[in-house]
């Protein structure tokens, strides 16, 4: 088995008694792996503990299967988060775990390592902060009531937006936290949309359905302002994340100059995530470089120039490291 095709997973991340959606291996030596659990079998507490006793901290899965494991974690997060008897501290931990999973998914795309790890730290600290802000915590609850799909997407947009902020060399802690949080909450208005509509590819929506779909930034903005004291920057990211530089976005058709600088970043992160992580509109996601080419040459790069330059820097590192490998 080629090591390049394998991904290590901390043993602690496997939950005992759960049916695993992937084949699991133990690494014997460089490039040598042995299958210990087949897809569809249940993980046993004793078995996991026995490996830890032998100082094995990681189990391995095939890279091509990674998304199945991350989907399971996110689904699990959704189940826990929807239980009303779970306290907000536990919920934050679960969101952080889901974010961790999604961050690793992004990491395997090969984006810039330094930018990536800084963004990861910022996002994780930010999610911990949510517990202490009751209004934001209530928005987070709304996000948790959305589908797994929205949750997965939101965590990924938060991660990519934060990476763009890091690549921008934005320094302020508050700035970066707002970016991470706004990325996480940008689609909160989708809670008000029928779940069937969210499963439908946009190309198949009727005129009325498209109109309804395009209300989600406004509905999200209403939810956030209704709570009072949610920072304006976060409200702007929710309301303006579908605007673009050409003034062809929605709901206000605002040109770049009139949108909030954070919203410009979330708009690009949103598009990039939609192209690189499977969803109803893009069942076969593109590698990051292809996604950038698509934004640039097919869509005519309708996003903020500086934000796009930063995203390119993050992705180009992947190209450099692939070429030098």
Give residues in contact with Fe ion (CB under 5 A): 187, 270
Measured from the CB atom, the residue of 145 and 319 that comes closer to Fe ion is 145
Concatenate the DSSP letters of all residues of 184-210 into one string. HHTTGGGGGS-HHHHHS-GGG--HHHH
Cβ at position 132, least distance to Fe ion in Å: 26
Do residues 123 and 158 make contact, with C-beta atoms less than 8 angstroms apart?
Answer: yes
CB of 153 to Fe ion, least distance (A): 6
Residue 64 or 202: which CB sits closer to Fe ion? Answer: 202
Q: Provide the token pair at 283.
A: 């069942």
Residue with Cβ nearer Fe ion (9 or 242): 242
> Which residue from 134, 104, 132, 129 is spatially nearest to 119, judged by alpha carbons?
104
What lies within 8 Å, CB to CB, of 271 at 6+ separation is 295, 299, 303
Do 237 and 231 contact (CB within 8 A), yes or no? no
User: Cβ closer to Fe ion: 187 or 256?
Assistant: 187
How far apart, in Å, are the Cα atoms of 97 and each of 10, 13, 63, 250, 299?
13, 9, 19, 32, 34
Q: Which is nearer to Fe ion, 59 or 155 (CB)?
A: 155
Residue number, 131 or 270, with CB nearest to Fe ion: 270
Element of type H or E holding 137: helix 134-145
Nearer to Fe ion, 9 or 139 (CB): 139
Give me the least distance between CB of 133 and Fe ion, in Å please: 22
Shortest reach from residue 122's CB to Fe ion, in Å: 20
Q: State the nearest-atom distance from the C-beta of 307 to Fe ion, in Å.
A: 15
Rounded alpha-carbon distances, angstroms, from residue 221 to 127, 197, 226, 235, 237:
20, 20, 8, 6, 9
Q: Residue holding tokens 């990861």?
A: 120
CA pair distance 48, 145, nearest whole angstrom: 32
| Cα 311 to Cα 118: distance, rounded to the nearest angstrom | 15
CB of 270 to Fe ion, least distance (A): 4
Least separation in angstroms between CB 53 and Fe ion: 44
Q: First vs last Cα of the chain: how many Å apart? A: 18
């Amino acid at each position: 088995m080629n090591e390049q095709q394998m991904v290590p997973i901390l043993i602690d991340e496997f939950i005992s008694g759960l049916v695993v959606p992937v084949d699991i291996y133990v690494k014997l030596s460089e490039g040598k792996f042995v299958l210990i659990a087949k897809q569809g079998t249940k993980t046993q507490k004793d078995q996991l503990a026995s490996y830890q006793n032998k100082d094995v901290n990681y189990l391995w899965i095939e890279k091509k299967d990674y998304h199945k494991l991350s989907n399971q974690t996110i689904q699990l997060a959704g189940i826990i988060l929807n239980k009303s008897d779970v306290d907000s501290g536990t919920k934050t931990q679960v969101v952080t775990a889901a974010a961790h999973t999604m961050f690793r998914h992004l990491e395997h795309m090969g984006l810039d390592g330094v930018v990536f790890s800084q963004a990861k730290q910022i996002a994780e600290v930010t999610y911990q902060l949510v517990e202490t802000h009751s209004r934001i915590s209530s928005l987070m609850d709304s996000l948790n009531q959305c589908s797994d799909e929205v949750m997965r997407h939101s965590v990924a947009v938060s991660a990519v937006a934060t990476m763009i902020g890091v690549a921008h060399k934005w320094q302020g802690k508050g700035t970066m936290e707002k970016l991470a949080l706004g990325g996480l909450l940008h689609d909160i208005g989708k809670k008000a949309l029928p779940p069937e509509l969210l499963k439908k590819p946009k190309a198949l929506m009727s005129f009325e359905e498209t109109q309804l779909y395009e209300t989600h930034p406004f509905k999200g903005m209403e939810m956030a302002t209704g709570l009072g004291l949610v920072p304006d920057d976060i409200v702007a990211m929710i309301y303006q994340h579908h605007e673009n530089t050409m003034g062809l976005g929605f709901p206000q058709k605002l040109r770049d100059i009139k949108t909030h600088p954070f919203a410009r970043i979330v708009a690009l992160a949103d598009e990039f995530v939609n192209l690189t992580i499977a969803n109803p509109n893009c069942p076969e996601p593109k590698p990051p470089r292809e996604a950038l080419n698509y934004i640039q040459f097919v869509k005519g790069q309708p996003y903020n120039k500086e934000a796009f330059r930063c995203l390119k820097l993050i992705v180009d590192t992947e190209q450099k490291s692939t070429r030098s490998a």
